[in-house]
Amino acid sequence: MKKHRVDYSLAGMCQCFNVSRSGYYAWLQRKPSQRLQRRQALDEQVKTLFHQHKQRYGAERLQWKMPKGNL
């Protein structure tokens, strides 16, 4: 909805998705969950390892190179 606010009215989108406007605004103010924060940190580690190894390592090799306890 955030991306399409330029093209469509907020009230119309809220009605279409059966979401209250106050719920939408509360969602905008919400901080990322711990799970999402952990996932983003893990994604950054994987990207860093991938680029350190010249983008040649696949999922299995990257998994073996990850520090223990991060998966």
pTM for the structure as a whole: 0.60
Task: Give how far Cα 18 sits from Cα of 1, 7, 10, 37, 58, Å.
Answer: 12, 18, 12, 28, 42
Dihedral sign computed on CA atoms, order 34, 40, 43, 48: negative
Written as one letter, the residue type at 7 is: D
Per residue in 29-70, pLDDT (tens digit) is: 999 999 999 999 999 999 999 999 999 989 888 888 887 766
Ranges of each domain in the chain: 1-30, 34-65
